[in-house]
Amino acid sequence: MQHFKNNPEYSNTDHVLNPKLFEEAYESIKNWSGYQPSPLQDLNGMANELGVNKIYFKDESERFGLKSFKSLGGAYAVVRVLKEHLQTKHQGQEITDEDLKSGKYAEELKNFTVVTATDGNHGRSVAWGAHECGINCKIYMHKGVSKSRGIAVELLGAEVVWVDGNYDDSLVRVKHDAIENEWYIISDTSYDGYTYVPKFVMAGYTVMTYEIAKQMEEEQIPTHIIVQGGVGGLAGAVCAHMAAIWKEHRPRFVIVEPETADCLYQSAKAGKPTMVDIKVETLMGGLSCGEPSTIGWNILKDNTDDFITISDDNIKSAMRLIAMGVGGDHGVEAGESGVAGIAALMEIKDNDEMRAALGINTDSRILLFGTEGATDPELYKDIVGS
């Protein structure tokens, strides 16, 4: 494990991610068919096992049947892009989510194509959004992504384009093909010249934080939030919204990444966005990202307290532990990337120096994000056994 203690300025992020976007996303998504808040699990047995006071675990294992928080982001961005496209064509006429999903504009949209690069879950969300709205979709996956994740996307009617290399190579290919064919990129990462759509993706993620604020009304505010890194889209959205909700009572914000894909950790050390060359793929496939999102980084650089990296060593054990339930806990289905926070706490359980550096002790109340369930069923069965 590596740790970098940041010196955040706790700056206001409204200029990066307008709070109005959060509200618009929540008001839209809460009315979608099948919407219900995901559980906030109290893992009291796990907390006792890992030497902390409380663990709150936001369980995204059943979200919209896609088994991932990503279903909130990509699909919402598809809806927003289509609505704005049609409003422009129809001179500002109001277009509703229901209009899109009912097929009212099917003829106009028959040649509309959305594309994205993905490690799995984001692509599935984009494919689902495209399917719901009746448009064309192409999902670019690198060879490190399991075939079962590709099949899940194809079952939603999207075409999978396999790319040699890693996630960043698939992103390069998407950019090229989208320009050449006039397709619309729905990416969960932002980069120079492409920041508009990723804000919708990030806004979709804050449905989770709206829910958490309501679910914790009778609880104590956490002392720590540990959230997965990746490109920084999820972390940036959670950080911005939780800071807006809890203001001066904001918890200590900790980002956890795989040690082989630690672009945010390296960026924090360098003081600027830094790309890493992923030579060894992590078991935490959804976090295998080598280049930070510019929007995410602009939030995190001034608002994150700690950046840590972990090995894959505790991932399988964490998946089994949370699945069986500890000390009376309800068993929770959590995939490889979904247990990163649990694995981090397992790694520091007997490391007094690291616990002190992170300010974690027996009084700590920690909020974790179970970002995915068994999104790769075969791998999950191999690890957990059922």
User: Cβ contacts of residue 337 below 8 Å, gap of 6+?
Assistant: 228, 284, 285, 286, 287, 371, 372
Beta bridge partners of residue 253, listed in sequence order: 225
Radius of gyration from C-alpha coordinates of the chain? 20
Return the amino acid letter for 142.
Answer: H
164 is catalytic: no
| 168 a catalytic residue | no
Max CA pair span of the chain: 63
Q: Which residues of 258-275 are buried (b: 16+ CB within 10 A; e: fewer)?
A: bbbbbbbbbbbeeeebbe
Identify the active-site residue in 54, 58, 67, 70: 70
Sign of the alpha-carbon torsion through 94, 96, 99, 100: positive
Nearest CA-CA partner of 364 in 224, 221, 208: 224
Catalytic-role residue among 54, 58, 97, 119: 119
Give how far the C-alpha of residue 18 lies from the chain's centroid of Cα atoms, to the nearest Å.
19
Pair 254, 358: CB distance under 8 Å? yes
The three-class DSSP label of residue 163 is: strand
Q: How far apart are CA 61 and CA 90, in angstroms?
A: 39
69: DSSP letter: G
Residues carrying an active site annotation: 70, 119
